[in-house]
Structure 1
Amino acid sequence: MYRFLLTPRWWGINVFVLLAIPFCLFMGSWQLGRFEERMDSHRTAGEQAESAKHAAARPLDALLPVDKETSGRQTTATGRYGKQLLVPDRELDETRGYYVLTLLRTDDGKALPVVRGWLPGDADPAKAPAAPKGEVTVTGALQASETPGSNGVSAAGGLPAGQTGAISAASLVNLVPYEVYDAWITLNKGDSGMKAVPAAAAQDTGLDLKAFQNLGYTGEWFVFAGFVVFMWFRLLRREVEFVRDAELGLVADADADEDPVRGEAAERTRETAAS
């Protein structure tokens, strides 16, 4: 009854099933591993952020370039405040407002973007407190340059003079006449009565949409593996039923001619009846 499994058609089906199931299981396990990596990264980032709050501040140059290990670390820098810009459409405590960003010119001639605080409402230069005069030493959480269009950072252009949509060296290089660090800091205490802006987690360390996509893909690949097994058993059962019907003479010749195995079963049935 199961001789049809040796036909070229079923050899092809069996080979496909034997290859598809391990592939689906491998891809599902890989996606699950990616989700677990993001979970571990999120957990590590949370622990790092908590420890960074109590760690001693280190000089800026000792923490550059910014990466997952140094993002959020306390740093200190000395210089003189220069050009001031506003960063509109930034929420804090579910209230819309803007950052007050001032460039701190250090002794090496480069400028460090410093978020001195947050104010509610529309960005208004008249309401933004002026930066302190003279040499100052600032302490805050180190942050990586922002990417427009991600993590709530506006990608809109055409902002009024004195405003920037993203805090990054690429965005600021055309707005200030000096070289800018590829990093920025947010002060631990808001300056001049402004609210301090909390440090953000490093990129690719949070439970964002990508993490849950990995989890969803995990389920999809395992479902595909189960579907392949289900379809193989369904085809097998259908073939066995057809062969059984052919042996009982319940299959028409037109149906039997479509498949050599089915035709052979029907032929054996006719020979048995004739004898």
Structure 2
Amino acid sequence: MYRFLLSRQWVILTLVALLLIPTMIRLGIWQMHRYEERTARNQLVSDALSSAPVPVERMTSPGHVVTRDERYRNVSATGRFDTSREVVVRRRVNADEAVGFHVLTPFVLTDGKVLLVNRGWVPADAPTQTAFPKVPAPPAGRITVTGRLMPDETTAASGIKDLKGLPDRQVMLINSEQEARRLGAVVLGGYIALTSPAPRGDTPQLIGRPGDEDAALNYAYAIQWWLFSAAVPVGWVVLVRRELRDRRESAQEQAERTEPAAV
């Protein structure tokens, strides 16, 4: 009665089932790895955000590439804002998904080096998107600022094209190497997203804290794939038993039809 398993249809079905089981197990393992990676990243970000501020030059230097472990670390710096060479970063959105600009202001340290400070978001309130927006001035004179250390933006990492021929004092990316060439100064690698002092008015709006990635979904997907892999052999057995039952019923009906009638 099990010879039907050697038929072309059942051989193909069995091979597909045998391929699905390890594939689904591997997909579950991949999702579990994603869960572990996101959990570790969330912990790394949480630790960085809760860290005590340290002098910025302990974390970065000219030409330094901010690492994953250094990202979001709280740093402080003392100096003055140079608004005469301030630029805005185009096509940035705030928490309400409104399109505007980020304000990038050079901060001249006491030793003459420059730290790039993202002072926050301002709306594109000018008649056109190409016009320079209204930017509130930062505190004047020598002050101490704190912020979250961030790596240089690149097209590869952000997906933002670094367009050329932009209006005066507008850029697409926050990149310390580009700004060093524009300013003709020694610029620390990366930049900071300002957290203190807070703006005096509604703008610039400070850049919000990064949120946690939802790692729980990856955990759920891993369990789901493993359940699917367990369901495949169960489903195969159910189909075999159903086919066997149908064949037995069909054989019994055939036998009844061919049985001689009683005299």
Q: Same fold (TM over 0.5)?
A: yes
Aligned residues of 1:106 and 1:112 also touching (Cα < 8 A): yes
Q: Secondary structure in 1 aligned to 2:72?
A: coil
Per-residue CA distance 1:127-154 (angstroms, 9 max, x = gap): 4437857x87654321122355988x96
Per-residue CA distance 1:158-204 (angstroms, 9 max, x = gap): 64210123212466467544565440013332487364624644xxx
Report the Cα offset of residue 68 of structure 1.
2.9
Q: Max radius of gyration: which structure?
A: 1
Distance 1:39 1:159 in 2: 40
Distance 1:44 1:230 in 2: 42
User: How has the CA–CA distance of structure 1 residues 227 and 191 changed in structure 2, closer, same or farther, with 3 Å as cutoff?
Assistant: closer
Aligned residue number for residue 241 of structure 1: 245
The letter for the 1-side match of 2:237 is: F
Aligned residue number for residue 32 of structure 1: 32
Aligned residues of 1:189 and 1:195 also touching (Cα < 8 A): no
Distance 1:117 1:5 in 2: 68
The letter for the 2-side match of 1:17 is: A
Aligned residue number for residue 104 of structure 2: 101
Structure 1: 5+ residue runs without aligned partners?
A: 251-268
Per-residue CA distance 1:103-141 (angstroms, 9 max, x = gap): 3466998643222454455374664437857x8765432
User: How has the CA–CA distance of structure 1 residues 169 and 13 changed in structure 2, closer, same or farther, with 3 Å as cutoff?
Assistant: same
Aligned residue number for residue 144 of structure 1: 151
Q: Does 1:57 align with 2:54?
A: yes
The letter for the 1-side match of 2:137 is: P
Aligned residue number for residue 254 of structure 1: none
Distance 1:214 1:109 in 2: 47
Q: Does 1:113 align with 2:116?
A: yes
Q: Secondary structure in 2 aligned to 1:142?
A: strand
What's the Cα RMSD here?
A: 4.5
Aligned residue number for residue 197 of structure 1: 206
User: How has the CA–CA distance of structure 1 residues 174 and 224 changed in structure 2, closer, same or farther, with 3 Å as cutoff?
Assistant: farther
Distance 2:199 2:249 in 1: 90
Distance 2:249 2:199 in 1: 90
Q: Does 1:162 align with 2:169?
A: yes
Report the Cα offset of residue 85 of structure 1.
0.4
Distance 2:125 2:34 in 1: 40
Distance 1:11 1:72 in 2: 56
Report the Cα offset of residue 240 of structure 1.
0.9
Aligned residue number for residue 137 of structure 2: 129
Distance 2:160 2:192 in 1: 19
Report the Cα offset of residue 71 of structure 1.
1.5
Report the Cα offset of residue 5 of structure 1.
4.4
Report the Cα offset of residue 99 of structure 1.
3.0
Distance 1:97 1:17 in 2: 53
Aligned residue number for residue 83 of structure 1: 85
Query: How many residues matched?
Result: 244
Normalised by the length of structure 1, the TM-score is 0.62
Distance 1:78 1:14 in 2: 70
Aligned residues of 2:176 and 2:191 also touching (Cα < 8 A): no
User: How has the CA–CA distance of structure 1 residues 213 and 145 changed in structure 2, closer, same or farther, with 3 Å as cutoff?
Assistant: farther
Structure 2: 5+ residue runs without aligned partners?
A: 127-131
Aligned residues of 1:148 and 1:165 also touching (Cα < 8 A): no
